[in-house]
Amino acid sequence: MINKKGLFVTFEGPEASGKSSQITLLKNYFLKNKIPFIITREPGGTILSEKLRKLILSNKSQINNLEEILLLMAARSNHINNIILPNLKKGKFVISDRFADSTFVYQGYVNKFGIEQTKNLHKKLLNNFLPHKTFLFELSTELIISRLKDRKLKNKYDKLDKKFHDAVNKGYKLISKNNRFIKIDASKSINQIHYNIINYINSLI
């Protein structure tokens, strides 16, 4: 059951895996059933963090991988202290589109800073603050690229590069070997995925 301290749930996965669509459906479900919640995202969630998001995701940013990690950590600290923790204390579901796992995968594994090194920074700078549960959307590289072809590319990670998306998928496999992760087959229909997520959410209430 959701306790007085609320529940922090994140949605993770590669580009075009359908996370945002499912978060919208979950938001509507919460509203209909009068379940207290807040929807947020990373990078972002606060005024400062949204400004850092634009810098981090811009194709024109002249920052290296370590600088990007440190900016993400700064944005995350602001996000945790101003949005996540206050709402958890109010007993709400806090639903975030991405969180630390994305940093472990994209900057740690894909950009080769090192997963463990990135996790160690997270432990030192953010007291190893992690979600209670994470829905991990899994999708083949072929389907990722097919879906990206059908939409306007929004940031530097929305690219039609098989090697890049293969690495993202491998990174998620490497970090998701514990029971915090609930794996979602993102190739299934939107309605089937929503049904599975709602069933799991209801088991927590």
Pick from 75, 26, 73: which is nearest to 46 by CA? 75
What amino acid occupies position 9? Answer: V
Q: Could you check whether the bond before residue 131 is cis, i.e. omega within 30 degrees of 0?
A: no
Domains in the chain, ordered, with CATH? 7-204 (3.40.50.300)
**pTM, entire model:** 0.93
SS3 93: strand
Are 136 and 176 in contact by the 8 Å Cβ rule? The answer is yes
**Tens digit of each residue's pLDDT (9 = 90 or more) over 46-79:** 999 999 888 888 777 788 999 999 999 999 999 9
Are 97 and 83 in contact by the 8 Å Cβ rule? The answer is no
**Tens digit of each residue's pLDDT (9 = 90 or more) over 151-200:** 776 666 767 789 999 999 999 999 999 999 999 999 999 999 999 999 99
Q: Which two tokens stand for residue 152?
A: 């306007």
**Residue 4: per-residue pLDDT:** 54
**Tens digit of each residue's pLDDT (9 = 90 or more) over 35-49:** 999 999 999 999 999
